[in-house]
Structure 1
């Protein structure tokens, strides 16, 4: 795997240049080493052992990546989640800063005529990755999203930047109760992430990630207008 690793005091992040996914993230805090991002178990297996029609983004499925567009590309031809999640990125700059590290990457392919830059910043003593994506030029509109995958075997709390609203699609991911169940209402929306409409008529706190609830749900969080 062709990766680039950047570090600052207490944190390490690796990027898979083949698809722009975060291949690894490790945080040292209070004497513990945390690795919060999930990686598909087949990553690194011989390509011949995987289905031939798998998009490259699925072959390398790791950590977090940029989707442009999110889901099926029905505006211009591209694999699932678009070229940012399925094609190569080049290193534009990677250097130490006064308080950490900053690296910039550029997608080799355009997205609707736009060039796409990925900027990653680490700060000494900060257990966070500061991530930015910049679209330059081009024309049109598509849904853009991050695709973080976390390891939370014991559950936990989720925190987000301010959101305009949360919404579920018209239908649940698995309509057949013999194959799975959903706890959220479909369709539904709420501006309060701690009180989202539930299938049983109550509400569910979307900031509480509970592993004791065996369910499959899909909810979209719409970013607030930051001006």
Structure 2
């Protein structure tokens, strides 16, 4: 069995068990079927046609997956984004509940000696996937991130929960013009997400995903102090929907945006990976060793790893959803309470949808 599909009323999710990626997600609402997650164009191509040194997680790149560590595995040997993104998971349980479905998966390998479980919950008539990951035992510390990816045919508009600032790393994703291109300035930062410095000396609006800008960019948004959930909302124009990604900022204090719009010319990307946006909520710097040592986020007071230990479990939660939307504008605000999500539009109009407002609680997390 290479995949497992779980269902509740109005929603289904398929897991690729070979690498633990969410291969598909379908939300049926108002007579429409929404598919918020991306699937790499080369997944169905013969393996021998792809570069032989690709990690399994890149070969099977889809939907969302757990990164542990995020980026370079330079403390414990593993591929890019760690074994949770690149190796098989077993099905521990998959069963109906009184109001939906719950499935538990376990990584066949251990991470820093810890057992890793993935718990997926669907609720009837909720257009959301509720995820939890649990690390049990182990030693040392681990950086983590979710890696949900969506894709657009004609771009979209973004909105976020309050952020302190946005910052790019020291080096761009594609510094060699013979291989690809990036547009943002590296390193740089801005407290105004609509005016981020570019390499050419101008500014770029991080809230506007434009298809006419061929680029491969990466920028980290640091959560501000506030009482609500951390959230990212993407209004996809051609798809006429709203993709929502939510977190508990105490658990996952940064949101990293990966803009992949034809900015890589080499295989397997080959200029065809277009309209893709990674919305990567994490507790991490770039690379495992950097996350455990001194780094720029720690100097800003931001935790970049979870401490592991025998007899200790660490958990963190995450939500992905989709709703129909006309007009192509992201909401001004997202709030959750009393079993509902309240979305406030730019014109002040309010929309309420079913949401488990108790889900994004603080896990038993020890920061590093």
Shared fold (TM-score greater than 0.5)?
yes
Q: 1:185 to 1:54 in 2, by over 3 A?
A: closer
> Which residue of structure 2 aligns with residue 206 of structure 1?
206
SS of alignment partner, residue 84 of structure 2 = helix
Q: 1:183 to 1:41 in 2, by over 3 A?
A: closer
C-alpha distance in 1 between matches for 2:86 and 2:145: 14
> Which residue of structure 1 aligns with residue 309 of structure 2?
none
In the TM superposition, residue 151 of structure 1 has moved relative to its aligned partner by 1.4
> Which residue of structure 2 aligns with residue 150 of structure 1?
150
> Which residue of structure 2 aligns with residue 173 of structure 1?
173
Structure 2 unaligned regions, length at least 5 = 225-248, 251-361, 363-368
> Which residue of structure 1 aligns with residue 134 of structure 2?
134
RMSD: 2.5
SS of alignment partner, residue 218 of structure 1 = strand
Structure 1 unaligned regions, length at least 5 = none
Q: How many residues align?
A: 227
Residue 111 (structure 1) aligned with residue 97 (structure 2): no
Range with bigger deviation, 13-22 or 191-200: 191-200
SS of alignment partner, residue 119 of structure 1 = strand
What is the correspondence of 1:94-109 to structure 2 with a 5 Å cutoff? Answer: 94-109=94-109
> Is the Cα contact below 8 Å between 1:94 and 1:103 reproduced in 2?
yes
What is the correspondence of 1:1-227 to structure 2 with a 5 Å cutoff? Answer: 2-159=2-159, 165-176=165-176, 180-190=180-190, 193-199=193-199, 203-222=203-222, 225-226=249-250
C-alpha distance in 1 between matches for 2:48 and 2:171: 36
> Is the Cα contact below 8 Å between 1:167 and 1:190 reproduced in 2?
yes
- Per-residue Cα deviation, 1:52-97 (whole angstroms, up to 9, x for no partner): 3322212211111111111221011111111001111111121222
In the TM superposition, residue 117 of structure 1 has moved relative to its aligned partner by 0.9
C-alpha distance in 2 between matches for 1:46 and 1:182: 29
In the TM superposition, residue 108 of structure 1 has moved relative to its aligned partner by 0.9
C-alpha distance in 1 between matches for 2:17 and 2:154: 31
SS of alignment partner, residue 216 of structure 1 = strand
SS of alignment partner, residue 128 of structure 2 = coil
Q: 1:95 to 1:23 in 2, by over 3 A?
A: same
C-alpha distance in 2 between matches for 1:70 and 1:22: 17
| Larger strand fraction of residues | 2
TM-score (normalizing by structure 2): 0.55
C-alpha distance in 1 between matches for 2:34 and 2:167: 31
Q: 1:203 to 1:163 in 2, by over 3 A?
A: same
Range with bigger deviation, 181-190 or 201-210: 201-210
Q: 1:163 to 1:146 in 2, by over 3 A?
A: farther
TM-score (normalizing by structure 1): 0.86
Q: 1:113 to 1:151 in 2, by over 3 A?
A: same
In the TM superposition, residue 177 of structure 1 has moved relative to its aligned partner by 5.3
SS of alignment partner, residue 40 of structure 1 = coil
C-alpha distance in 2 between matches for 1:202 and 1:47: 41
> Is the Cα contact below 8 Å between 1:95 and 1:102 reproduced in 2?
yes
In the TM superposition, residue 26 of structure 1 has moved relative to its aligned partner by 1.2
Range with bigger deviation, 84-93 or 156-165: 156-165
> Which residue of structure 1 aligns with residue 303 of structure 2?
none
